[in-house]
Chain A
Amino acid sequence: MEQPAQTLARAAQGDQDSFSELIEPLLDPAYRLAAVMLADRGAAEDAVQEASVKAWRKLRQLRGDATSLRPWFLSIVANECRMARRTRWWSVIKVADVDAQDRAQPESYSDLHRALLRLSPDDRLPLVLHFYLDLPLDEVARALRVSPSAAKSRIYRSAKRLRADLTMDEVF
């Protein structure tokens, strides 16, 4: 079986099958990240698709080895979600939809779920990477493009917004 480094090299030379082989295992975490950031499943799939095309075009800019691919790709997905949210139609229509959805299902949502929806997408991002996708701290840092200590601080700060009495030991 071909090594990931060889697959990455072939993908960087323009081999689509090699790129697909590398990217497909990352689509599920990428979708979950986008769905939580955007709170809209259709838009999340669109963001992942757009991010995949950008990753394909910019694969030669990837620094590091094959292990760098996941945080690099997830950072592109997160940026794509930010860009999607910045568009006017999104802020006018989609945020209203999410608010309406939140109000319409109070019984099925836990307090934590509601608190999560009140967080900004950028505050949800470190929580998704650390708790939901279970990435190691250095990968969270690379996906956020910050230092590991800054990533740790952002995870803790976001978690504290969900539950004020959390201690650092309980988060990490």
Chain B
Amino acid sequence: MSNENFRRELNRAFDGMAGQPSPTLSGRIRSAIARPTAARSYYWIAAAAACVIAALIVGVLFVANPLHRPTSNVGVPLPSPSASPSASPSPSPSPSPSPSPSASPTPSTAAFQCATTYGPVTQSGPVTAYVSNVATGAHAGYDRITITFGNGAPTSVEVQTQNNATFTKDPSGQSVTLAGDHGLLVTIRGADAHTTYSGSTDFKTGYTKLLEAQQVQDYEGVVQWGIGLSGSTCYRVYLLKGPDRVVIDAQTGT
């Protein structure tokens, strides 16, 4: 079959599958687009009212602090009660995968979790949290990756373990195998890594546990990072403020 015949027959097969769109499709789309606009004013009023009520509740709780708990951290497991700047885990100053002296020691005694899924843990934040920095660092007892956001916290964070280091890139659907034989898949919803972040999306670290971290999705408000690990690993996750960041520690010596 010649090239032209191949093309012709292929297009005939495609024609057989597709046919013609309904003449009403264009009208359906026009009305679907118009619908949210008509309701927008009501949504706006409802959203404004909800924001005012939420602000009042938060204000009352903040002042009263009925449980006498610190409010600086969210997520499970929780770091130590204080998350002051001097004690909080901060990312490396540069995206280069090198041990950073300024990546301060972990502030907490939070336990590592093993072979279990973390979250999804939801938080309040902007519609889209923009990734502003990603950094890795090696520390005594753990290797760390920190994903920092410039305008607020992402709405949801989930970490799943896997017994290999192969991940699927979305939307291409292609598989990518990172260094290592185990992995963590970090899924951050309500986030975007292409508006304000232009750093590396693939860190080959040379550490003992966290061997490679690569961004495998940045699409439709979902950012995913695959982390290639050496051997099965216990890990812990912090969702921290000031600046908003997701911190994942992979325990070494396991």
Enumerate chain A interface residues (CB-CB to B < 8 A): 16, 19-20, 23-24, 27-28, 31-32, 35-36, 39, 41, 44-45, 48-49, 52-53, 56-57, 75, 78-79, 82, 108-110, 112-113, 116-117, 122, 127-128, 131-132, 144-146, 150, 162-163, 166, 169-171
- On whether A163 and B6 interact (CB within 8 A), knowing A28-B21, A35-B18, A113-B13, the answer reads yes
| Interchain CB contact under 8 A, A146 and B172 | yes
Which residues of chain A have C-beta atoms less than 8 A from B30's C-beta? 16, 20
14 contacts between A and B (CB under 8 A): A16-B30, A20-B30, A23-B29, A28-B21, A31-B25, A32-B14, A32-B18, A45-B22, A49-B29, A52-B32, A53-B36, A109-B13, A116-B14, A131-B7
Cβ contacts B46-70/A at 8 Å (1 or 0 each): 0000000000000000000000000
B121 CB-CB contact with A under 8 Å: no
6 more A-B residue pairs beyond the given contacts A45-B28, A113-B13, A132-B10, with a C-beta to C-beta distance below 8 A: A27-B21, A31-B18, A53-B36, A112-B9, A116-B17, A132-B14
| Interchain CB contact under 8 A, B32 and A53 | yes
Chain B interface residue number, banded: 20 to 34
Enumerate chain B interface residues (CB-CB to A < 8 A): 1-3, 6-7, 9-14, 16-19, 21-22, 25-26, 28-30, 32-34, 36-37, 171-174, 219-220
- On whether A127 and B10 interact (CB within 8 A), knowing A27-B21, A49-B28, A145-B172, the answer reads yes
- On whether A131 and B33 interact (CB within 8 A), knowing A163-B1, A166-B6, A170-B6, the answer reads no
Complexed CA–CA distance, A82 and B217 (Å): 15
| Interchain CB contact under 8 A, A131 and B29 | no
Q: What DSSP secondary structure best describes chain A's contact surface?
A: helix
Which residues of chain A have C-beta atoms less than 8 A from B21's C-beta? 27-28, 31, 41, 44-45, 48
- Within the complex, what minimum Cβ distance (angstroms) separates B135 from chain A? 25
Which residues of chain A have C-beta atoms less than 8 A from B25's C-beta? 27, 31, 45, 48-49
Complexed CA–CA distance, A45 and B20 (Å): 10
Partner of A52, one of B10, B29, B172, B219: B29
- Within the complex, what minimum Cβ distance (angstroms) separates A12 from chain B? 14
Output the nearest chain A residue to B220 by Cβ-Cβ distance: A79
Which residues of chain B have C-beta atoms less than 8 A from A57's C-beta? 36
| Interchain CB contact under 8 A, A24 and B26 | yes
